[in-house]
Chains A and B, each alone.
Chain A
Amino acid sequence: MSRLETIRLISYAKSGHYGSSFSCSEIFATLYYYQLNYDSKNPKWAERDRFVMGKGHSAVGVYPILADVGFFPKEELDTYTSLGSPFGDHPDMNKIKGIDFSSGSIGHGLSVGVGMSLGARVDGLKYRTYILMGDGELQEGQVWEAAMSAGNFKLGNLVAIVDNNKVTVDGVTKELMNVNPIKEKWESFGWNVVEVDGHDVEALIDTFDNLPNVDSKTPTVIICDTVAGKGVSFMEHGFEWHVANLGEDDIKRAIAEIEGGK
Chain B
Amino acid sequence: MTTQTFHKDTWELFKSLELSKQLTTGETLAKLGHEHPEIVALCADLGYPTRLADFGEKFPDRFFDFGLAEKNMVTAAAGLASTGKKAYVSTYASFLGVLCAEQIRTAVAYPNLNVRLIGTHTGIAMGFYGTSHHATEDIAITRSMANMTVISPADGVALSEMIEESVKTYEGPIYFRVSRGRETPIYENNSSNIQNKIGKANVVREGSDITIIACGIEVKQALEAAELLERENISTRVIDMHTIKPIDQEIIFNSAKNTGAILTVEEHNVQGGLGSAVAEVLMESGNFCKFKRHGIYDEYSIIGKPYYLYHHYKLDGEGIADEAKTLLNQS
Contact = CB atoms under 8 A, between A and B. Distances in A.
A101 interface: yes
Nearest to B69: A145
B61 interface: yes
Interface in A107-127: 108, 111-120, 122-123
Contacts of A46: 83-84
A149 B82 contact: no
B84 A146 contact: no
B183 to A, nearest CB: 32
B106 A115 contact: no
Given A116-B83, A122-B40, A153-B64, A101 B111 contact: yes
A149 B79 CA distance: 14
A101 B72 contact: no
A30 interface: no
A113 B110 contact: no
Interface in B28-84: 40, 61-62, 64, 66-67, 69, 71-72, 75-84
B77 A115 contact: yes
A146 B83 contact: no
A256 interface: no
Contact of B82 (A112, A146, A148): A112
A119 B80 CA distance: 5
A118 B61 CA distance: 10
A180 interface: no
Given A142-B72, A149-B69, A108 B107 contact: yes
Given A101-B111, A104-B106, A122 B62 contact: yes
B72 A123 contact: no
B92 to A, nearest CB: 17
A117 B77 CA distance: 11
A55 B82 CA distance: 19
Number of chain A interface residues as a range:
20 to 34
Nearest to A147: B72
B111 A94 contact: yes
A118 to B, nearest CB: 6
A130 to B, nearest CB: 13
B173 to A, nearest CB: 13
A155 to B, nearest CB: 11
Contacts of A148: 67, 69
Interface string A53-91: 000000000000000000000000000000000000000
A93 interface: yes
Contacts of B40: 118-119, 122
A153 B42 CA distance: 13
Nearest to B38: A122
Nearest to B40: A122
Nearest to A143: B72
A15 interface: no
A137 interface: no
B80 A116 contact: yes
B31 to A, nearest CB: 19
Contact of A115 (B62, B67, B71, B82): B82
Interface of B: 40, 61-62, 64, 66-67, 69, 71-72, 75-85, 87, 102-103, 106-107, 110-112
Interface of A: 46, 52, 93-94, 100-102, 104-105, 108, 111-120, 122-123, 142, 145-146, 148-149, 152-153
15 contacts: A101-B78, A101-B111, A104-B106, A111-B79, A112-B75, A113-B79, A115-B78, A115-B82, A119-B79, A122-B80, A145-B69, A146-B75, A146-B76, A149-B76, A153-B64
Given A118-B76, A118-B80, 14 more contacts: A101-B79, A105-B103, A108-B106, A111-B71, A111-B103, A112-B79, A112-B82, A113-B79, A115-B80, A119-B79, A122-B40, A142-B75, A145-B69, A148-B67
Across chains A and B, which 9 residue pairs bring their CB atoms closest together, nearest first?
A: A115-B79, A119-B83, A111-B75, A145-B72, A115-B76, A145-B69, A112-B79, A115-B80, A116-B79
